[in-house]
Amino acid sequence: MAKGIYEREGKNGDVTYYIRYQFQGTDIKERVGRKSRGFTRETAKEALKSRLGDIARGQFNLEKTRKPVPFSKLVERYREFASSYKRGWETEKYIVEEFASLFGDTPLAQITTWQIEKWKAEGGKRLNPVTVNRRLTVIKHMFKQAVEWDLVKSNPATSVKRFTVNSERTRFLTQHEIQTLLETCEKQITSPWLLPLVTLALNTGMRQGELLRLKWENVDLERGSITIIQSKTLRRKTIAINEPAGEALNWLQENRYGELLLMWPWGDPIGKVTVYDAFKKACSTAGISDFRFHDLRHTFASHLVMAGVDLVTVKELLGHKTINMTNRYTHLAQEHKAQAVAKLGERIQGERNATESQSGSVSEELKQAINAVLPPNVAQNRNIFLVRRGRGLGISNEIKQKVEAASGFEPLHRGFADLSLNH
């Protein structure tokens, strides 16, 4: 855009003067004023000269020349933008409204990094760090869009760092806890859908949102498969149906109320809040603490790994894009292998002890047969030693023949060797 002055005539015949110039590669158009209020073309020339002088001296502040844009305008535009394309908008919209209440009509240019840091610090005192980080991500994105839409020059949230948290939570249920939880879910009379829902989560590894949005058209009971578009990766995934999952689906089909698997008899979908309340109650009744619905997915993966399924297969079953997310279960494979090797060691040691006990004793019948053929004065003869070699006994050939002749007993040949010392 060329530098200069231009004017625009309104519907009432009044003329408005504007100046145009560039600052740091950005084209700027600035309103000077109306002719009816005393502004002239000469006034506009002086204004342009002043602006170019400020830029040359490094004293120009772009934000001061802009018409203040209130935060409420950003909220309005962002709401329209995000609701049309963001998958998580149904949850995110509540966060946007929270910021709308916080900043109100404050001009975007006046919202500082310090204000956002203060909000973060206060939120960290009363909320989970993960929750604060999730909300911080929203405000960062809102200001990023504001910069792209030329509503503000810079993003004050860019330098605000997220809380450091350990997001690799792998809480999972033991086999006993699984049975207890299922039995408790079965007793939830007001939520009869809870048992098949939990059963499907445990046996398919599907996320709660994927299950609540699952339609019957995506379920093929004849072929034993479920096909979904994953909520996070937007990739198509086919899930095999095992026997428990098949029984849960059969129950849901017998109690079908619409196109979704999980619906109330009056046709409304079962929502996340309802599931949260019912699942929390079931866990409390079952005596299971520190456990969320998403941890059923961890339980699915953890028991696969402990059953010996390789991590690549677990990755495919979970629908992870990369193996990095699946690697959180590596320690379970190592621990389970260590336990298996320890059991093998116990078994081998037990067999060894049993063998030693058996091979360390010589039957009375064999002792009598040996004594019957030994000369009275053993010292005048060769010393005979029975030396352990393994399992069974081996005796010098001469004695062996006499023992066989005297008793008809044939000594064992494996495990012991004879050692004779000549004098």
- Which tokens is 266 given? 């009056």
- Which tokens is 305 given? 């790994």
Residue 101 CA to residue 97 CA, distance in Å, equals 6
Helices 295-306, 311-318: axis angle to 10 degrees equals: 150
Closest CA to 272 of 301, 234, 231: 231
Contact between 138 and 99 under an 8 Å Cβ cutoff? The reply is yes
Domain edges within the chain: 4-65, 71-148, 175-333, 364-421
Residue 217 pLDDT exceeds 80 = yes
Q: 175-333 architecture in CATH? A: Orthogonal Bundle (1.10)
Contact between 267 and 239 under an 8 Å Cβ cutoff? The reply is no
Residue 291 CA to residue 96 CA, distance in Å, equals 28
Indicate the helix (H) or strand (E) that contains 20. Answer: strand 15-23
Please report the pLDDT score of residue 367 as a whole number. Answer: 62
Residue 385 pLDDT exceeds 50 = no
Please report the pLDDT score of residue 265 as a whole number. Answer: 93
Q: Residue 390's pLDDT band (boundaries 50, 70, 90)?
A: very low
Dihedral sign from CA coordinates of 397, 399, 405, 409: negative
Residue 199 pLDDT exceeds 60 = yes
Residue 29 pLDDT exceeds 90 = no
Residue in the block written with tokens 């629908």 = 319
Residue 122 pLDDT exceeds 80 = yes
* pLDDT digits 0-9 by tens, 258-307: 999 999 999 999 999 999 999 999 999 999 998 999 999 999 988 888 88
Please report the pLDDT score of residue 380 as a whole number. Answer: 44
Query: How remote is the C-alpha of 310 from its chain's centroid?
Result: 18
Residue 387 CA to residue 393 CA, distance in Å, equals 9
Q: 30 forms bridges with which residues in the sheet?
A: 19
Residue in the block written with tokens 């003329």 = 15
Listed range (184-188, 392-396, 418-422) with the worst mean pLDDT? 418-422
Please report the pLDDT score of residue 414 as a whole number. Answer: 42
Residue 180 pLDDT exceeds 80 = yes
Q: Residue 51's pLDDT band (boundaries 50, 70, 90)?
A: confident
Residue 79 pLDDT exceeds 80 = yes
Listed range (93-102, 200-209, 213-222, 350-359) with the worst mean pLDDT? 350-359
Closest CA to 388 of 355, 347, 350: 355
Residue 129 pLDDT exceeds 50 = yes
Q: Residue 378's pLDDT band (boundaries 50, 70, 90)?
A: very low
Residue 306 CA to residue 313 CA, distance in Å, equals 13
Residue 306 CA to residue 178 CA, distance in Å, equals 15
Task: Compute the half-sphere exposure of residue 420: CA atoms within 13 Å on the CB side of its CA.
Answer: 12
Name the phi and psi angles at 64, rounded to 5.
-70, -25
pTM: 0.54
Residue 411 pLDDT exceeds 50 = no
Concatenated DSSP letters for 48-91? HHHHHHHHHHT---HHHHSPP-BHHHHHHHHHHHHTTT-TTHHH
Q: Which of the two residues, 382 and 18, has the higher pLDDT score?
A: 18
Residue 255 CA to residue 61 CA, distance in Å, equals 67
Concatenated DSSP letters for 186-232? HT-TT-TTHHHHHHHHHHH---HHHHHT-BGGGEETTTTEEEEE-TT
Measured distance between the N- and C-terminal CA atoms of the chain, rounded to whole angstroms: 119
